[in-house]
Amino acid sequence: MSNEKELVKKLRDKYTKNPPEGMTPDLIKSMSDNDLLDMDYFLNEDVFGDEVGEEGFYIF
């Protein structure tokens, strides 16, 4: 559990200094720990899987 609290602190600092588009540092500060972890997950999720850039998989 301690590792999760440390991660949340690091993420809150990271996103407070450089908030995602459409968010403010105050909004980041007021987010719950779970909401912050969820936001980080979805911002960094690999939505295309391992196929990005492989031959035959292009979106124009």
Q: How long a stretch of residues is the chain? A: 60
Contacts of 31 (CB under 8 A, 6+ apart): 12, 39
Q: 44 — alpha (psi -120 to 50), left (phi > 0) or beta?
A: alpha
Q: What's phi and psi for 57, nearest 5 deg?
A: -120, 90
Percent of the chain with pLDDT over 90: 67
User: How confident is the model at residue 57, as a pLDDT?
Assistant: 53
* pLDDT value of residue 60: 58
Query: What percentage of the chain carries pLDDT values higher than 70?
Result: 75
**Region 16-26 average pLDDT:** 95
Measure CA of the first residue to CA of the last residue in the chain; give whole Å: 44
The tokens of 16 are what? 């407070």
**Tokens encoding 19:** 């908030």
Task: Write the pLDDT tens digit of every residue in 23-34.
Answer: 999 999 999 999
Model pLDDT, residue 1: 61
